[in-house]
Every structure is written in C-alpha cells, then in structure tokens.
Structure 1
Amino acid sequence: MTSRVLTVVGVVLVLLGALFFLQGVGVVGGSPMTGSSFWAVAGPVIALVGLYLAVLRRVGRRRG
C-alpha cells in the first residue's frame, strides 16, 4: 500500500511541477506565479522529485 501512495503522490507532484513551470514561463496566466523565474526553475525540480517517487523508486526496488 505504501508504494501505491508514493506513486499517487509522485504523479501529483509531476503534474504540479509541470503547472508551476508553465506558469513560471508565462504560458498559464492568472496567478502571482505567472512570469516568475523562480517557478520556471522550481517546477521542473518538483516534477523530477515526483518522477522519482512515481517511477524510478519502483524500478529500483524490483532490481534489488
């Protein structure tokens, strides 16, 4: 059950990271985050953490 929860959390982080990136570069407007270079950098970092939790962690467990 723990791996399912981590997978769901990872997917949510990937989606939020993508949204934050798009807001940071100005593609998605309507928030104080729009056009902010901080979110253009933080978004992909958040998405990578989510990708690790959702996919890479599960693959690593299967090997070891």
Structure 2
Amino acid sequence: MRIVRYVVGALCCLMGGVWLLQGIGVLPGSFMTGQSKWAVYGGLLLLVGVGLLVAGRQRRV
C-alpha cells in the first residue's frame, strides 16, 4: 500500500506542477495556458500529491 501512495502521490505532484505552470503562463502550448483556474487546480493537486507522499512515508504503530 505504501508503494501505491508513493506512485500516486508522485503522479499528482507531477501533473499538478504542470497544471500550475501552465495556469500561470510559464509553460505555454495548451488551452490551459494563462488560465488562473488551472493554476488553482494545479496547486490543489500538488498539495494532494505532497500529502500522499507524506502519508506513505509515515510508519504505522
């Protein structure tokens, strides 16, 4: 289960980072470029990914 959290968390971080960069206009070439809602969606997905990575790292007692 820990590996699944790592993989899903990493994918969420990667996808959220791309959406965030496209939303703020740093990464051009898509319909999402310059759209602030995609920056917000990307930031939220990035936080979810970080949360999954942290949750996968914690040990169960």
Could you state the TM-score of these two structures normalised by the residue count of structure 1? 0.85
Runs of 5+ unmatched residues, structure 1 = none
Whose helix fraction is larger, Structure 1's or Structure 2's? 1
> Percent identity of the aligned residues?
44
Deviation above 2 Å: which 4+ runs of structure 1? none
What residue is the counterpart of 1:48 in the other structure? 47
Which one of the candidate residues 29, 44, 62 is aligned to 2:59? Answer: 62
- Structure 2 counterparts to residues 1-64 of structure 1, below 5 A: 2-54=1-53, 56-59=54-57, 61-62=58-59, 64=61
Runs of 5+ unmatched residues, structure 2 = none
Could you state the TM-score of these two structures normalised by the residue count of structure 2? 0.88
How many pairs align?
61
Q: CA RMSD in A?
A: 1.4
